[in-house]
């Protein structure tokens, strides 16, 4: 292990703390010397640990990262070396990896999964343009820029390589749990193995575990060998579009598995409405047109344009970091949604197109008042395994977190109230010890979140808009939703 050689000395950087460790390298948080004090992550690879294959992978990773510049791919800032180490200097991602993010929440709401999938798909599309395949996509190789406003960053390109569309490979690469069956069974595969891995990642985010989760490697291999379709649980609250994409990615027959073109255009991926620099402009143009149609009483056309505008507006909520701007944007979006619902009732005709047209909803937003969670819930769950009443209350409170994460603050507050009523009673009778300390820690945090939710729910919604550019034209025209 690289760690056996102690903390390295990287020129122009101050090493702060170790944040990760692997077979061939340790990763440290560091600060660039100088006035800016830029925070970075430095992968320190001890040369003496490298086999010929590991060295080839490292060289490949450096070459690929040098040319990949995308908002959802970890940026390599520089690389240097000395007699003992090779240092890869990367952007710092404070949110940890997707694996721990999912574990801390047990499972993620579909709306959050869709946002994550959009980011992942955007990176994959860019990689396809560069003819790069990753071959080791898994939650632990996907980092989060932060937890308060999670932005995914694909990392660890050690197994990635340039691969033409029709090229195949025969070397086993990747992690078995996320590895496409053809890699193990046939040892002949192409770039579509990345789409299988995407399916496994989406499945794990939705249901809390990978489809082939096993206790032993032998059990895992046996599951992979069985020519049996992946079972996407029915009775779970996921949309038909989400289910279709899961089944299309997790198709064992490579010839039937979704291809990249179909994946990027899939309605659940919905790359067109991924938040970006052009989203606001498109939304503004559509709203202006919608208001004009509305004033002229051309309600069907107004309805269509409002719906299209909302498809661009709603995702912008999740990338707006300023709390007051986000609140104002949320209020205005709610007004346009209400007007769209009214128009649907006014139209009230037999048009299947109108009937089947979905009005976007504000389904999810980062947790109210959320901060990066640094608690010990996994340990608490282990300690309460024999006390179902406490464990049940913890799970109710955890579901409250998910509802808050989705923006459903009323239900979230009710969940917190129910859970805290039970937990406070148990806490009074809990004997002194580690379990009581952890339980008190969680209760205190949930009480704080419940208080914050109460403030939000009681807050006067009549804040002045801070997004005049977006709504100025519709305000001037006395839009009927004002």
Residues 262 and 128 in one domain: yes
Which segments are annotated as binding site for ATP?
47
Contact 77, 88 (CB under 8 A): no
Residues 46 and 144 in one domain: no
According to DSSP, the residues that pair with 144 across neighbouring strands are 152
According to DSSP, the residues that pair with 17 across neighbouring strands are 29
Which segments are annotated as binding site?
47
Residue 171 confidence class, pLDDT cut points 50, 70, 90: low
Residues 112 and 253 in one domain: yes
According to DSSP, the residues that pair with 169 across neighbouring strands are 189
Please state, in angstroms and rounded to a whole number, the distance separating the CA atoms of residues 427 and 430. 5
Contact 312, 279 (CB under 8 A): yes
CA end-to-end distance (rounded Å), the chain? 64
pLDDT at 462 > cutoff 70: no
The residue written with tokens 């056309």 in the block is 301
Average pLDDT over residues 155-170: 64
**pLDDT, tens digit (0-9, with 9 covering 90-100), for 213-272:** 888 988 898 988 888 888 887 766 788 999 999 999 999 999 999 999 999 999 999 999
Q: Return the percentage of the chain with pLDDT > 70, whole number.
A: 82
pLDDT at 357 > cutoff 60: yes
Q: Between the CA of residue 36 and those of 11, 31, 32, 73, 466, what are the distances in Å?
A: 16, 9, 7, 23, 31
Structural domain ending residue among the three candidates 91, 116, 147: 91
Lowest mean pLDDT among 55-69, 164-178, 410-424: 164-178
Please state, in angstroms and rounded to a whole number, the distance separating the CA atoms of residues 206 and 107. 5
Average pLDDT over residues 417-440: 90
Residues 324 and 436 in one domain: no
Residue among 284, 292, 370 nearest 332 (CA): 284
Residues 47 and 11 in one domain: yes
Residue 351 confidence class, pLDDT cut points 50, 70, 90: low
Q: Between the CA of residue 159 and those of 92, 130, 141, 428, 448, what are the distances in Å?
A: 21, 16, 11, 53, 44
pLDDT at 188 > cutoff 80: no
Please state, in angstroms and rounded to a whole number, the distance separating the CA atoms of residues 192 and 183. 11
Contact 377, 104 (CB under 8 A): yes
Please state, in angstroms and rounded to a whole number, the distance separating the CA atoms of residues 410 and 398. 15
Structural domain ending residue among the three candidates 327, 361, 395: 361
pLDDT at 126 > cutoff 90: yes
Which residue spans within 94-245 are E strands per DSSP? 132-133, 142-144, 152-154, 161-162
Residues 118 and 192 in one domain: yes
Residue 173 confidence class, pLDDT cut points 50, 70, 90: low
Please state, in angstroms and rounded to a whole number, the distance separating the CA atoms of residues 183 and 367. 39
Q: Please give the pLDDT value at position 473.
A: 41
Residues 327 and 248 in one domain: no
Residue 295's CATH number: 1.20.58.80
Enumerate residues 6+ apart whose C-beta is below 8 A from 119: 72, 151, 152, 274
pLDDT at 105 > cutoff 60: yes
**pLDDT, tens digit (0-9, with 9 covering 90-100), for 68-81:** 999 999 999 988 88
Residue 304, token pair as written in the block:
């269509």
Structural domain ending residue among the three candidates 361, 385, 409: 361
Residues 69 and 215 in one domain: no
φ and ψ of 32, to 5 deg: -75, 130
Range of 121's domain?
Answer: 98-270
Q: Please give the pLDDT value at position 174.
A: 64
Q: Please give the pLDDT value at position 272.
A: 92
According to DSSP, the residues that pair with 81 across neighbouring strands are 86
The most distant pair of C-alpha atoms in the chain lies apart, rounded to whole Å, by 76
Residues 104 and 64 in one domain: no
pTM of this structure: 0.71
Q: Between the CA of residue 443 and those of 139, 203, 386, 394, 421, what are the distances in Å?
A: 29, 30, 19, 9, 10
Q: Please give the pLDDT value at position 3.
A: 44
Residues marked as catalytic:
136
Residue 154's CATH number: 1.10.510.10
Average pLDDT over residues 282-290: 95
Residues 300 and 161 in one domain: no
Residues 413 and 450 in one domain: yes
pLDDT at 313 > cutoff 80: yes
Domains contained in the chain, number? 4
Residues 394 and 418 in one domain: yes
pLDDT at 62 > cutoff 90: no
According to DSSP, the residues that pair with 90 across neighbouring strands are 41, 76
Residue 9 confidence class, pLDDT cut points 50, 70, 90: confident
Which residue spans within 343-434 are E strands per DSSP? none
The answer to whether position 413 is within a domain reads yes
The answer to whether position 81 is within a domain reads yes
pLDDT at 116 > cutoff 60: yes
Please state, in angstroms and rounded to a whole number, the distance separating the CA atoms of residues 449 and 444. 9
The answer to whether position 367 is within a domain reads no
The mean pLDDT value of the chain amounts to 81
Please state, in angstroms and rounded to a whole number, the distance separating the CA atoms of residues 290 and 244. 32
Q: Please give the pLDDT value at position 355.
A: 61
Q: Please give the pLDDT value at position 352.
A: 61
């Amino acid at each position: 292990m690289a760690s056996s050689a102690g903390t390295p000395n990287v020129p122009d950087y101050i090493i702060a703390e170790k944040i990760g460790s692997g077979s061939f390298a340790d990763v440290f948080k560091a600060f660039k010397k100088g006035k800016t004090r830029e925070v970075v992550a430095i992968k320190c690879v001890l040369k003496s640990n490298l086999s010929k294959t590991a060295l080839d992978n490292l060289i490949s990773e450096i070459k690929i990262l040098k040319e990949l510049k995308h908002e959802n791919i970890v940026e390599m800032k520089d690389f240097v070396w000395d007699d003992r180490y090779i240092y890869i200097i990367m952007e710092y991602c404070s949110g940890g990896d997707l694996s721990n993010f999912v574990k801390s929440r047990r499972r993620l709401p579909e709306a959050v999964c869709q946002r994550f999938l959009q980011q992942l798909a955007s990176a994959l599309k860019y990689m396809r343009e560069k003819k790069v395949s990753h071959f080791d996509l898994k939650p632990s190789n996907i980092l989060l820029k932060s937890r308060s406003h999670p932005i995914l960053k694909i990392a660890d390109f050690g197994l990635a390589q340039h691969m033409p569309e029709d090229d195949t490979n025969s070397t086993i690469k990747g992690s078995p749990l996320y590895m496409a069956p053809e890699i193990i069974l046939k040892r002949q595969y192409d770039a579509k193995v990345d789409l299988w891995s995407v399916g496994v990642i989406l499945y794990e985010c939705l249901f809390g575990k990978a489809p082939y989760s096993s206790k032993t490697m032998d059990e895992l291999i046996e599951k992979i060998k069985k020519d049996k379709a992946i079972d996407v649980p029915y009775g779970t609250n996921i949309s038909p579009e989400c289910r279709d994409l899961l089944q299309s990615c997790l198709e064992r027959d490579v010839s039937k598995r979704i291809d990249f073109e179909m994946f990027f255009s899939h309605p659940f991926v919905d790359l067109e409405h991924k938040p970006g620099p052009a989203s606001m402009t498109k939304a503004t143009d559509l709203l202006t047109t919608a208001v004009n149609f509305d004033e002229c009483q051309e309600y069907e056309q107004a309805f269509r344009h409002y719906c299209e505008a909302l498809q661009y507006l709603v995702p912008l909520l999740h990338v707006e970091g300023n709390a007051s701007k986000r609140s104002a944007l949320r209020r205005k979006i709610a007004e346009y949604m209400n007007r769209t619902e009214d128009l649907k009732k006014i139209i009230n005709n037999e048009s299947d197109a109108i009937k089947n047209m979905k009005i976007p909803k504000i389904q999810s937003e980062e947790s109210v008042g959320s901060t990066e969670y640094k608690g010990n819930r996994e340990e608490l769950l282990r300690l309460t395994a024999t006390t179902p009443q406490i464990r049940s209350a913890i799970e109710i409170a955890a579901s409250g977190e998910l509802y808050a994460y989705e923006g459903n603050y009323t239900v979230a507050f009710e969940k917190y109230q129910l859970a805290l009523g039970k937990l406070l009673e148990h806490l009074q009778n809990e004997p002194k010890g580690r379990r009581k300390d952890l339980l008190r820690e969680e209760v205190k945090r949930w009480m704080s979140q419940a208080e914050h939710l109460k403030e939000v729910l009681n807050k006067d919604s009549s804040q002045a808009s801070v997004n005049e550019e977006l709504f100025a034209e519709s305000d001037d025209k006395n839009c009927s939703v004002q």
